[in-house]
Amino acid sequence: MSGFPILSVLTLLPLLGGIMVVGLPDRKLARSFALGFSFLSLAQALGLWHTFKAANGGLQFVERADWIPSLGVQYFVGVDGLGLLMVLLTAIVVPLSLLVSGRVSERAPLYHALVLFLQAGLFGTFTALNFFHWFLFWELSLIPAFLLVRLWGGPQRAPAATQFFIYTMVGSVAMLLAFLAIFLATSKPGGAGVFDFIELGKLAARGALNPALAAKLGWFELTGRQIASVIFGGVLLGFAVKVPLMPFHTWLPATYAEAPTPVTMLLTGVMSKMGVYGFLRILLPIFPEQIQWLRTPLLALAVVTIVFSACAAFAQRDLKRILAYSSINHLGYCLLGVFAVATAGANVLAPAVEKAAALNGVLLQMFNHGLTAATLFMFVGFLEHRSGGLRGLNDFGGIRKVAPVFCGLMGIALFSSLGLPGLNGFVGEFLIFKGVFPLAMCSAALSVIGILVTAIVILTMLQRVFNGPLNEKWSKLPDLTLAERALVVIPIALMFVLGLWPRLILDVINPTVVQMVEQLKF
User: For a pLDDT cut of 70, what percent of the chain falls above it?
Assistant: 98
Cα distances from 129 to residues 49, 72, 468, in angstroms, run: 19, 13, 53
| DSSP code for 468 | S
Q: Tell me, what's the pLDDT at 205?
A: 84
Q: Tell me, what's the pLDDT at 496?
A: 96
Q: Tell me, what's the pLDDT at 56?
A: 86
Q: Tell me, what's the pLDDT at 443?
A: 93
- 227-285 pLDDT, tens digit per residue, is 888 899 999 999 999 999 988 989 999 999 999 999 999 999 999 999 999 999 999 99
- 396-423 pLDDT, tens digit per residue, is 988 999 999 999 999 999 999 999 999 9
pLDDT band at 191 (very low <50, low <70, confident <90, very high): low
Task: Name the more confident of 496 and 209.
Answer: 496
Q: Tell me, what's the pLDDT at 174?
A: 92
CB 310 within 8 A of CB 304: no
- 163-175 pLDDT, tens digit per residue, is 999 999 999 999 9
How crowded is residue 475: how many other Cβ atoms within 10 Å of its Cβ?
A: 11
Task: Name the more confident of 255 and 223.
Answer: 255
- 105-159 pLDDT, tens digit per residue, is 788 899 999 999 999 999 999 999 999 889 999 998 999 999 999 999 888 999 9
Our CA dihedral for 426, 279, 202, 132, rounded to 10 degrees, sits at: 130
Q: Tell me, what's the pLDDT at 136?
A: 92
- 430-467 pLDDT, tens digit per residue, is 999 999 999 999 999 999 999 999 999 999 999 999 99
HSE of 197, CA atoms in CB hemisphere, 13 A = 26
Cα distances from 230 to residues 7, 61, 223, 248, in angstroms, run: 34, 35, 11, 18
**Model's pTM, two decimal places?**
0.94
